[in-house]
Amino acid sequence: MPKETFFNLPQEKRTAIRQEAIAEFAAHPFNQASINRIVARSGIAKGSFYQYFADKKDLFLYLMQLAGEKKLEYMAPVMQQTDQHDFFSLLRELYVAGIRFARKHPEFAEISKRFMESKGTPLYEEVIANNMPTAYEFFETLLQQAIDRGDVRADIDVRMFAYLIASLNTLVLEYYSERVAQDYDEKMLTTVDKFIDFLRNGIGAPQAAMPPSQDRESFTAA
Amino acid sequence: MPKETFFNLPQEKRTAIRQEAIAEFAAHPFNQASINRIVARSGIAKGSFYQYFADKKDLFLYLMQLAGEKKLEYMAPVMQQTDQHDFFSLLRELYVAGIRFARKHPEFAEISKRFMESKGTPLYEEVIANNMPTAYEFFETLLQQAIDRGDVRADIDVRMFAYLIASLNTLVLEYYSERVAQDYDEKMLTTVDKFIDFLRNGIGAPQAAMPPSQDRESFTAA
DNA sequence: GAGTCACATGACTACCTGGTCACATTCTAC
DNA sequence: GTAGAATGTGACCAGGTAGTCATGTGACTC
């Protein structure tokens, strides 16, 4: 957490520092991000920086917290509607919220993404340990509920699919922003819908579909 | 490419350098990997290193080439059996080959993984541009053939699913090595099979399966 | 023995990093 | 005005980096 001096700063200066820090960590992974650049760009002295933050990690954790808070603003409303959706449409709303967040706050999304890729580093472990239950765990309970309600096949490996669904979340986001990108709302929804339809039904042709457990004559494609 | 002097080296010394370089780039991303450490560990002088390689990038590209060659040893046999499998079982073989490669050559797999995560950097663009058609393109033609043969639903977005299947390849690998790992062959096959079954059939419960194309009166949030 | 050529070497350069610290400045309270 | 606390500052430190280069070495040729 930043020191008190940081919060005593005139708002203008504070947000300037914050903006430059966000930009720096969005553009470079933790070890590559440069305090020198941040202070130069935000027009403060190096010494001042260390009056606001204990060290580089302190700043980074602060930004991670900000990112988390912002993301929660997008996810929380969806979480509260769990009863009004079946599993797949809830997932759809979660994915859509994730994309909305990434579109409105690309720097935060980038920082989070970089962070996720740092799995295995001490920094990662520290943040995860101190902060949050992972998305995996969240999806695991969600998935179990879905099975109990009959929304999802009962013969699946819950742990594995929790992992897969969490990963698919970032995957749809990457695909959307890499390949579809610009015209926001319209295509976004169809992209997400395709993913969700896939989750639900797979891509096997009707005649090729084999019953995994008991018969499930599945959908009849057009 | 390394200079001639490198290939003139006594084999012992050459492989020592190569091993240490592989270990270094497996443990650190490009910018973090240290030539100083490599030369110290392989017991050669800094100056000698620059008689073998033009620069750091030169070494890295060489390792990427080695990794690619090794991986091809595992994938090529599968590629030649395209006629003997339907789409999904071919995919199964490809995934399995990928895991085998990663298990036998974890350092190479790690280097490749790190590299894939560096998407967007100039180095990435350079390697991709000079070397290879991406996995996306490969899966795209494979998928189109599968549709033509009736193995796969005809109403899917081919580009998107090529992307997804390529990504799923690394995903199954990550899941396997993170969560299942140790006892090699047996569980590996069942893990892959679960992924493949999912690709084919999705995870929707039979009664929840809806026709993908027309109507499905969406999910208007309450 | 002299000359030449391939390779080996490590001190060196230029440049970066995160973090410190003695000092200067400004603000607050009396 | 003046004491004292809070804040600002940039030169500086120790330690890292990739890459260079003058010098050394040993083998092979004439």
Contact B102, B177 (CB under 8 A): yes
Distances (CA, A) of B126 to A60, A129, B131: 30, 37, 8
Mutate to test the interface with A, among B88, B153, B158 (most CBs of A within 10 A): B153
Best residue of B198, B207, B213 to probe chain A, by most A CBs closer than 10 Å: B198
- pLDDT tens for each residue of A95-130: 999 999 999 999 999 999 999 999 889 999 988 877
Q: Write phi, then psi, for B67 (nearest 5 degrees).
A: -60, -45
pLDDT of residue A82: 87
**Does the CB of B48 sit below 7 A from strand C?**
yes
Rounded distance between C-alpha atoms, residue A114 and residue A14, angstroms: 24
| Cα four-point dihedral sign B45, B50, B55, B58 | negative
Specify the residue for token string 């620069």.
Answer: B55
Q: Which of A157-166, B86-95, B175-184 has the lowest mean pLDDT?
A: B175-184
Q: Number of A to B CB contacts under 8 A, please give it.
A: 149
Model confidence pLDDT, tens digit, residues B143-188:
999 999 999 999 999 999 999 999 999 999 999 888 776 666 678 8
Cβ pair B201:A204 closer than 8 A? yes
* One-letter identity of residue A60: F
For the entire predicted model, the pTM comes to 0.89
**Residue A215 pLDDT:** 43
For residues A168-196, average pLDDT: 85
pLDDT number for residue A202: 84
The answer, yes or no, to whether residue A208 has pLDDT greater than 70, is no
Q: Are B139 and A176 in contact (CB under 8 A)?
A: no
Q: CA dist B159 to A206, B128, B156, Å? A: 21, 19, 9
Residue B116 contacts A, CB cutoff 8 Å: no
Helix (H, G, I), strand (E, B) or coil at B204: strand
Q: What is the pLDDT at residue B213?
A: 43
- Among residues A204, A220, A216, the alpha carbon closest in space to that of B156 is found at A204
The structural domains of chain B, with segments of one domain joined by +, span 1-54, 68-215
Per-residue CB contacts under 7 A with strand C, chain A residues 31-90: 33-37, 46-47, 50, 55-57
B39 or B130, higher pLDDT: B39
B182 burial level (CB within 10 Å; 0-12, 13-18, 19+) = exposed
Identify the CA nearest to A208 among candidates A189, A193, A190, A221.
A221
**Contact between chains at A160 and B194 (C-beta distance less than 8 A):** yes
- Give the CATH H-level superfamily of domain A68-215: Tetracycline Repressor, domain 2 (1.10.357.10)
A136 vs B: CB within 8 A: no
A28 CA – D10 C1', rounded, Å: 25
What average pLDDT does this structure show over A69-95? 94
Q: How much is the pLDDT for B207?
A: 54
Q: What is the CATH number of domain A1-54?
A: 1.10.10.60
A205 touches chain B (CB under 8 A): yes
pLDDT range class, residue A177, cuts 50, 70, 90:
confident
A203 or B117: which carries more pLDDT confidence?
A: B117
Q: Which of A72-81, A210-219, B17-26, B92-101 has the lowest mean pLDDT?
A: A210-219
Q: Determine the pLDDT at residue A179.
A: 77
Q: Please, which residues bridge with residue A77 across strands?
A: none
Instruction: Report the C-alpha gap between B170 and A118 in whole angstroms.
Output: 16
Question: In strand D, which positions have an atom below 7 A from any protein CB?
Answer: 6-12, 16-22
Which token pair is A90?
Answer: 């809830």
Q: What is the pLDDT of residue B50?
A: 98
